Structure 1
Amino acid sequence: MTGHGHGTPRELHEWFAASARKHGDLVALEAGGERLTYRELDELVTALAAEILTAHGGRAPRRVGLTTAPGVLTYAAALAVLRLGAAVVPLNTAFPPARLATIARTAGLDLHLTDRTPAPGGPEIPAFLLSGDLPTRLRDGRTAPDPLPPAEVAPGDIAYVLFTSGSTGTPKGVPIAHRSMDAFLRYVIDRYALGPGCRMAQNSGLAFDASVLEMFGAWGSGATLVVPPRAELPKPARFVGREGITHWFSVPSVITMADLTGGLAPGSMPSLRWTLFGGEQLTVQQARAWRRAAPHSVIENVYGPTELTILSSQYRLPDRTEDWPDTANGTLPIGEVYPHLDHQVVDEEGRTADVGELRLRGVQRFAGYLDEKDNRGRFLDGSGRPVETDGPYVPGEKHWYRTGDLVQVLEGGTLVHLGRLDQQVKIMGQRVEIGETEAVLREQDDIGQVAVVALRDEDGQTRLEAAYTGTARPAAELRQALSARLPRYMVPHRFTHRPELPLNHNGKLDRRVLAEQLAAIRS
């Protein structure tokens, strides 16, 4: 299925362009104290695309990295890249230069749009400096761009590439096609009644897939994208109330942070009509706190791997809190899989089960990781057998993607997320493959065995803790070494030297016992 039954899929930029033609005088973007209508933003995008084209020798680039602080220029640059028919590859400004260089190589970037001087050890590709005065210069008309050639984009071409943590020690590139985004947008814009007059909060950085829903859910429907100051995310009620936000999407951790600081007073977010929580399990306690603060908002708990184009299931909480379901782990269900996707829940033998791994397929499924080795074991054919090829993975319409998520099927088909089958965890909604942190720690001098576990603090936040054998090293020294390679959220909060690590009766690392030991030390 393509386009959710609506004919030829739109490429991603066309979702914005159609709104610019239809709603030119409506406000498209509010960021950094600036407010642009759809017409103004479209003119800026066109002018910037012409500048990029000239900087690239008159040829449209193929994949473009984007490293900018949040602001008008960030969003105009992303749209300009798409206008040229290229794929956007957001580079997280908080990542160390070495990690950004790895991402640039894996993605095959041929241009880097940045608002800063490239750091030593970072991506070694041609850079186009996005100076702070560029939007003003382009809008003032001191640069008169030539007419842009039409972008040559096919539905199966890549719209954007995001990188997630990889268990092999390097990040994994996830390319998402235009047809996948088209199917997703057609569904969510209708489901969440997005359109003119709606105000969508942009809570996620561009390196995270929730940002794509926020941007194009707004721009694909004629709504306004409103970018909050980063400092206001822990106190959402102040931002929502001041800006009249109608649509909100964030990780549930935001609720915990806001509630601890008294930032969720009852009735403090009356403008909210729709709230989505994803990226982490949503507890009943968290949902109750949000419901009290936003009594007029529909709340949905949503789920989806980046590989399935942002989201692939949803659970709408009943209006009455007494009707909310009780689940085995105290979290709210992730609900039902989107109607245009297929799913299976199977046990270790591949048989249909009430508790097992969730498999997904359909138009929103990606076509495989950029690095071929990351595809091994992730795809199954229609009968459930691993897809094996001598060369690069060739996606099949009937191929299943193994999510690695353990779910329970309730009566009526509703799904509950129970956890992971592997060592992947979520920290503030960001995927972390513990194996990647372990691999970097293992490379340090005089380190023997290593193990990293995720523990929950008293404030409800999940943090990584590392244990290792070999020569004891100062924690600050190890933290500095890992910070040069990994994002801050992947660097362990604590390093504990142990004479040995606990093993189970099979001689393998016993992570449960280790977690108990580290928790006892901390307490």
Structure 2
Amino acid sequence: MTARTGDHPGTLHAWFAASAGRHPDRVALEADGQALTYRELDEYSARVAAGVLRACPGPPRRVGLLAGRRPATYAGYLAIQRLGATVVPLNTAWPGARNASVARRAGLDLVLTDGTGGAHQLSVPLLDLADVAGDSAGGPLPSGEVGAPAYILFTSGSTGAPKGVPILHDNVVPYLAHVIDRYEVGPGSRLSQTFDLTFDVSVFDMFTAWGGGATLVVPSRDEILAPVRFVNDRHLTHWCSVPSVISFARRMRALRHGAMPGLRHSLFAGEPLTLQQAQAWQAAAPASRLENFYGPTELTITCSEFALDTDMGGWPSTANGTVPIGHIYPHLEHRVLDAAGLPTEEGELCVRGPQRFPGYLDPVDNAGRFWDLDGDRPADPAPGPSGSAVRSTGTVPARMWYRTGDRVRPAGPDGFLHLGRLDHQVKVDGYRVELGEIESALRDQPDVHDAVVLALPTAHGGTELHAVCTGEDPAPGTLLAALREQLPAYMVPAFLHVRSELPLNGNGKTDRTALAALLHDAPAVTPVKELR
């Protein structure tokens, strides 16, 4: 299938509005014990949009959203979209300093909030969603800035600060056209919404459901911890989550054979899916088509897919025990390149096409992330001046290839096998984490001379962060407490070790491999669970 933008609604809100026009009385959203039809959710979002216009001195360009899992939050998301503004999700579980940093870097005009998550710490005008829930929708709404991003998400940055990833409507439209058709989403379908709005797969959850006229079913925090019960009690047809949910359900002994007979599609993204995890889930949902899909935020949610047969006897066997990431979407171009930008059998996956983002919010972050292969030799785009990005999206020419940083090799008819990262970026609970950002935060603490963070495997197949510090007798408890004030919980190391020195390799650089071996052989020090 080729996804053609011109054949489909041109914005995220237009996808929702088209379904609202066709299916006004079907349920669009179930959240926090409430069910809203497409008509009700459309009217709700119109009231919120009118409230945003009254609160802003001029047409809003970028609006933050800091709220929990309730109908008002989703009405707020749609309200920002219908105004033609850019939504910038914040996270109620993040430290206030993290949300404040994102708000500052994004140049927000306003933040929609439900009063949770430390909104008072933001130096941005606030609008409480409760204050506009019963307002009148008012008159016609503005169309917004042409070419404005649909949303901006902030990912962990290797330089010690989060970096903004703007995604255009033109990036999302071909994506939705592809996935709505592939996963047979339509009226009567019921899709899970397990991802926080700061996680890009949440856009898949929301707009695949709403673009197909289906129902988005939002779990409570307790329901997320009992996925099998949630699937059955809420009659889900489509499940989407990170693979670590499978490991958790297995530890709870919830994945009994045939435990989820009603599932039709089971989709996993955000981190490698192991064959063991896939087998356990498939046995519990035997009628479901299980699929691994892959993609960095910069390529608009996902860019490749691999569907496993319902008959496990036909599954591939891979050297690293993970499910292939499969084939790149047909409307995208891809190459596998070596460090010099030359074609190779095993190397870095590079992609371009309609889903490739226009460049980072701060153009400085573009350096080293693109190849220009149409000239005589590979080239990097000029980064542009730092700090010019508050009202810019750092546009990179469409001909340039985005360097994913992921090492792949062909897996025959199964597409590509993911072999790991080429840098110090890791996935923790599906979230992208730059180890350098944690190391930078540690080095900023008093008494710390140097810091290294390693991602080590756990006994249950997950990833655990271990920090190692040197310095003038740094106090591990104090350091970890400081990190919890600055970083999201998934970025705070599970263990912190203090050493007199770090092992070095022959070039005088920190030997991470030797350090990992030392930590493997020594008892872990200062687990976070003892400090909370």
- TM-based fold match above 0.5: yes
CA 1:474/1:120 → structure 2, altered by over 3 Å: closer, same or farther? farther
Equivalent residues of 2:85, 2:144 under 8 A apart: no
Residue deviations 1:461-485, cap 9 Å, x none? Answer: 3111111111222221111111111
1:390-429 aligned at under 5 Å gives the runs 393-412=394-413, 414-429=415-430
Equivalent residues of 1:15, 1:216 under 8 A apart: yes
1:90-239 aligned at under 5 Å gives the runs 90-116=89-115, 119=118, 122-131=121-130, 134-135=132-133, 138=134, 143-154=135-146, 156-239=147-230
Q: Does 1:338 align with 2:339?
A: no
2:66 corresponding residue in structure 1: 67
Residue 123 of structure 2 aligns to a residue in which SS?
coil
Letter in 2 for 1:459: H
1:443 corresponding residue in structure 2: 444
Q: Distance in 2 between matches of 1:48 and 1:130?
A: 7
1:237-276 aligned at under 5 Å gives the runs 237-276=228-267
Structure 1 position 185, deviation (Å): 0.4
Q: Distance in 2 between matches of 1:429 and 1:323?
A: 27
1:382 corresponding residue in structure 2: 373
Q: Distance in 2 between matches of 1:319 and 1:119?
A: 46
Residue 121 of structure 2 aligns to a residue in which SS?
coil
Equivalent residues of 2:268, 2:293 under 8 A apart: yes
Equivalent residues of 1:4, 1:187 under 8 A apart: no
1:477 corresponding residue in structure 2: 478
1:13 corresponding residue in structure 2: 13
1:344-359 aligned at under 5 Å gives the runs 344-359=335-350
Task: Give unmatched runs, 5+ long, in structure 2.
Answer: 389-393, 525-532
CA 1:222/1:487 → structure 2, altered by over 3 Å: closer, same or farther? same
Equivalent residues of 2:238, 2:264 under 8 A apart: yes
Letter in 1 for 2:490: Y
Letter in 2 for 1:40: E
Equivalent residues of 1:284, 1:330 under 8 A apart: yes
1:23-38 aligned at under 5 Å gives the runs 23-38=23-38
Residue 29 of structure 1 aligns to a residue in which SS?
strand
Letter in 2 for 1:146: G
Residue deviations 1:46-79, cap 9 Å, x none? Answer: 111111111114x321000110011000000100
Letter in 1 for 2:379: R
CA 1:180/1:344 → structure 2, altered by over 3 Å: closer, same or farther? same
Residue deviations 1:258-309, cap 9 Å, x none? Answer: 0011111111111110111111111110000000100000011110000000
Residue deviations 1:187-210, cap 9 Å, x none? Answer: 100110101000000100111111
Residue 213 of structure 1 aligns to a residue in which SS?
helix
Equivalent residues of 1:94, 1:487 under 8 A apart: yes
Equivalent residues of 1:235, 1:264 under 8 A apart: no
Q: Distance in 1 between matches of 2:39 and 2:352?
A: 38
CA 1:410/1:45 → structure 2, altered by over 3 Å: closer, same or farther? same
Q: Distance in 2 between matches of 1:422 and 1:364?
A: 23
Equivalent residues of 1:98, 1:121 under 8 A apart: no
Letter in 2 for 1:497: V
Residue 72 of structure 2 aligns to a residue in which SS?
helix
Q: Distance in 2 between matches of 1:203 and 1:35?
A: 17
CA RMSD of aligned residues (A): 1.8
Stretch deviating more after TM superposition (465-474 or 357-366):
465-474
Residue deviations 1:203-233, cap 9 Å, x none? Answer: 0011111110000000011000001111122
Structure 1 position 120, deviation (Å): 8.3
Residue deviations 1:95-152, cap 9 Å, x none? Answer: 1111111111111101011111784883201111122x753xx2xxxx3332123413
Residue 437 of structure 1 aligns to a residue in which SS?
helix
Equivalent residues of 1:9, 1:178 under 8 A apart: no
Equivalent residues of 1:3, 1:179 under 8 A apart: no
Q: Distance in 1 between matches of 2:444 and 2:284?
A: 47
1:327 corresponding residue in structure 2: 318
CA 1:440/1:104 → structure 2, altered by over 3 Å: closer, same or farther? same
Residue 258 of structure 1 aligns to a residue in which SS?
helix
2:86 corresponding residue in structure 1: 87
Q: Distance in 1 between matches of 2:411 and 2:322?
A: 13
CA 1:390/1:125 → structure 2, altered by over 3 Å: closer, same or farther? closer
Structure 1 position 446, deviation (Å): 1.4
CA 1:18/1:160 → structure 2, altered by over 3 Å: closer, same or farther? same
Residue deviations 1:162-193, cap 9 Å, x none? Answer: 01000000001001001111111011001101
Letter in 2 for 1:87: T
Equivalent residues of 2:3, 2:178 under 8 A apart: no
Q: Distance in 1 between matches of 2:452 and 2:308?
A: 38
Equivalent residues of 2:66, 2:116 under 8 A apart: no
Structure 1 position 352, deviation (Å): 1.6
1:303 corresponding residue in structure 2: 294
2:273 corresponding residue in structure 1: 282
Q: Distance in 2 between matches of 1:195 and 1:117?
A: 34
1:516 corresponding residue in structure 2: 517
Stretch deviating more after TM superposition (481-490 or 227-236):
227-236
Letter in 2 for 1:92: N
Residue 484 of structure 1 aligns to a residue in which SS?
helix
CA 1:371/1:253 → structure 2, altered by over 3 Å: closer, same or farther? same
Letter in 2 for 1:167: S
TM-score by length of 2: 0.93
Q: Distance in 2 between matches of 1:5 and 1:334?
A: 25
> Following superposition, which runs of at least 4 residues in structure 1 exceed 6 angstroms of deviation?
none
TM-score by length of 1: 0.95
2:363 corresponding residue in structure 1: 372
| Identical columns (%) | 51
Q: Distance in 2 between matches of 1:297 and 1:30?
A: 22
Residue 422 of structure 1 aligns to a residue in which SS?
coil
Structure 1 position 234, deviation (Å): 2.8
